[in-house]
A and B are shown apart, each in its own frame.
Chain A
Amino acid sequence: MGVLLLCGTRKGLFLIRGDDARRNWDLEKTLLSGWSVFHAVQDPRHGDLHVAANNWVYGGTTHRSSDLGKTWERSEGLGLPEESGLKLEEVWHVEPGHDSEPDTLWLGATPGILFRSGDRGESWEPVRGLLEHPTRDRWQPGAGGMCCHSVQIDPADPKKMFIAISAAGTFRTEDGGETWVPRNKDVAADFMPDPFPELGQCVHKLLLHPARQDRLWQQNHCGVYRSDDRGDNWERLEGNGLPSGFGFPLAIHPRDPDVAYVIPEEGAENRVTSDGRLGVYRTADGGASWELASNGLPEPAWGAVMREGFASDRNDPAGVYFGTQSGSVFASSSEGDSWTEVARQLPPVLSVEVGEWS
């Protein structure tokens, strides 16, 4: 099995095939030309590719392929009910469902929308519990719109899920999506009159650790956070090696719940990588300290990595991958110890995910 990188870009989807040793990488021709691919993922249960794609003119949709991109089917009629008064703006993130529900997928979208598919992505229905959430009138859009960009499912229980919306915050459900509770205690929202509100936080990326399901990591507009009690309490993790708490992408180690990676930016008012370098920062102690892991990365560099642009594989040692707004894709087969540029001059990279090919 080789690693397959799915790189969503502003202008189509690019697949990059790695060999078994993750040393040689082949860039394939563009797929889904004309679509802005916000996120693409390979469903580990079936191998299907699922793509959240948007077009300036024709709106947001999803595409799926069961033959690694040779042919595609598009879901038709994606939208919101008229009585909601809302229209679908963009689709942001496709998340394969729990292993026990092999035909279920989830799709995060703007404005603050979660869709569920029960037929492997052929059709989608909005999750009413979120669409009609009683706090919706208090949600505010971030610069990218009010996007639901993170969907995390507890591997131990398909009814327990987390989503994050910018800027509404983190929400948890324990009943499969019927009801959602905000989980943002001690998470800052410096742009609000009350800097620690119940909701309204600008989460940039949220991940649940698959091996320790109580643990969540969060890269926020206002800091990097960890929760060890499923979002009930959050601890801010900076001032200990990170040059900035601001950033978008986040990656975690597939097995070690204490290892995470971020790529900080200068700040909200200057969204370029910190200190004039493309710097990955890694923690091996749950965020108590961070070290720069930039061996092989360019310097000087004023790039940026989007919220979906960072991923890890399940190999040992783990591979870590990210793509930049400048059109480069970097890979590390050594858990971040060293990096190699595996593609360059792509359109701006919006997302990176890891799949496999044989």
Chain B
Amino acid sequence: MVVVRIPSLLAVQAGGQGTFEVEAETVGGALRQLPVSDLLIDEHGELRRLVNVYVDGEDTRGLEGLETPLAGASELRVIAAVAGG
């Protein structure tokens, strides 16, 4: 079981829910269970460029990306990159 926390804009799109408890083997497996998964992962199965995902504080881009295993992890945090205008 891992707790997934998503930003407030996504929580609005998830019916007001900002925290999810999911069972998954990988980061991608966890994200795909969210009702906003298509806003995080594009149509070709890649994490959107400005979406950052941290497993217990560690950026998954420095690990194995969406294939990063979740064994022993407790928290998955989705954070939007500092971008926009």
Contacts and interface: CB of A to CB of B under 8 A. Distances in A.
Q: Which residue of B12, B13, B40, B81 has the most chain A CB atoms within 10 A of its CB atom?
A: B13
Interface string B7-27: 001101100000000000000
Contact of A80 (B9, B35, B43, B48): B43
A58 B51 contact: yes
Classify the secondary structure of B's interface with A. loop
Contacts of B63: none
Given A55-B9, A56-B84, A57-B84, A87 B42 contact: yes
Interface stretch (A71-79, A230-238, A253-261, A307-315): A71-79
Contacts of B10: 58
Contact of B48 (A10, A33, A58): A58
B38 interface: yes
Given A57-B50, A57-B80, A58-B51, A87 B9 contact: no
Interface string A61-92: 10000000000001011111110000110000
A275 B52 CA distance: 46
A57 B43 contact: no
A57 B81 contact: yes
A71 to B, nearest CB: 10
B39 A87 contact: no
Contacts of A56: 50, 83-85
Interface of B: 9-10, 12-13, 35-36, 38-40, 42-44, 48, 50-51, 80-81, 83-85
